[in-house]
Amino acid sequence: MKSFARRTAAEPDPLKDFGEEAVPLATDSALRRTALAALAVLAVGIASIPYALIRYSNAPALGTLTVDSTPAGRRLVVDGVPRGATPQTVALPPGDHLVVIGEGPGTITLPVTTRSGEQLRQSVVFETTVVSDSPAVAPVTAVAESAKRASAVIPAPSGAGWLAVAGAISVRILENGELLGSSDTPRVMLPAGAHTLELRNDDLGFRDVRKVHIAAGKTVALSLTLPRSVLHVNAVPWAEVSIDGTRAGETPIGNYRLPIGTHHVVFSHPQFGERRQSVVVTAAAPARVSVDFTK
């Protein structure tokens, strides 16, 4: 059997020296790998920042809706989401929304349309129910009759009425530069009293100012009077033309006057058949429409 001599303290230990060198090398390699992985994650994060900025910068601007009521403190729900109590201002994306104010049988429901970056205000007035006094000993039927004979519903002191705007085009309704609503909804609620309203359709170049008096509980109806503009019509080789179902003549047709808005033009040719087009006539400049039957 071989025997191993014991080393003296002065003799170096080769295993010890090897271990001291190997551990730092392994640790250094692991640190390098960790640092490279962290740099890769950071690079991906930095690269995604411009995309995120572009994505959210292109999001449509919100509009704001302010709802107040008389009396105040009525529950407000917008698109099925509770929004506290009136008066209240909420930010909404552009589009159609359903606003519910109050609770129970006295609830008021309003459809509203918000536009990007615009401020819309809706004011509502709740009516107060008053029942005449009755003796405590009076039977139930007598109390019912007493309530029926009394002025059961009395408008609140400020009162409110409705405005209905009818016309061939859609208009926004503004007062003192503040958007109240649009003709897309059947009625817009306004406080009772005198109002100077601006009716606008910027796409068609339409603007009209109307003075109205709103009576409590009543509806004031406004009809739009649209200005006329010019339409030029042509066809190759030629065509008989009707506009909105009315014969307009044979092309070329110049300076044909129509109310602003969208109109439907039908071109007819005995050999090439029929072509249909829609054209938007605005107050800003003459409109033109034409067809080429040879193409």
Taking domain 228-292, whether its CATH number is 3.40.50 is answered by no
Query: What is the full per-residue pLDDT of the chain (295 aa) written as tens digits?
Result: 444 444 444 555 554 554 444 444 445 566 666 666 666 656 555 555 554 444 445 566 888 888 888 888 888 888 878 888 888 888 888 888 878 888 876 678 777 788 888 888 887 776 544 333 433 333 333 333 333 333 333 333 357 888 999 989 999 999 998 888 888 888 888 888 999 999 999 999 999 999 999 988 888 999 999 999 999 999 999 999 999 999 999 999 999 999 999 999 999 999 999 999 999 999 988 999 999 999 8
**Cα–Cα distances in Å, from 103 out to 75, 77, 121, 135, 157?**
7, 10, 20, 30, 21
Report how far Cα 212 is from the mean position of its chain's Cα atoms. Answer: 27
- Read off φ and ψ for residue 208, nearest 5 degrees: -140, 140
**Cα–Cα distances in Å, from 86 out to 82, 122, 160, 185, 195?**
11, 11, 17, 22, 23
Architecture of domain 61-126 in CATH? Sandwich (2.60)
- pLDDT confidence of residue 144: 33
**Cα–Cα distances in Å, from 270 out to 86, 125, 153, 234, 275?**
65, 62, 67, 16, 12
- Rounded Cα distance, 75 and 249, in Å: 60
Instruction: Count CB-CB contacts under 10 A for residue 242.
Output: 16
Q: Is the entire prediction scored with pTM above 0.85?
A: no
- Give the SS3 label for residue 5: coil
- Check if the beta carbon of residue 207 is closer than 8 Å to that of residue 285: no
**What's 157-226's CATH class?**
mainly beta
- pLDDT confidence of residue 45: 59
- pLDDT confidence of residue 186: 84
Residue 106 DSSP symbol = G
Peptide linkage before 71 cis (omega within 30 of 0)? yes
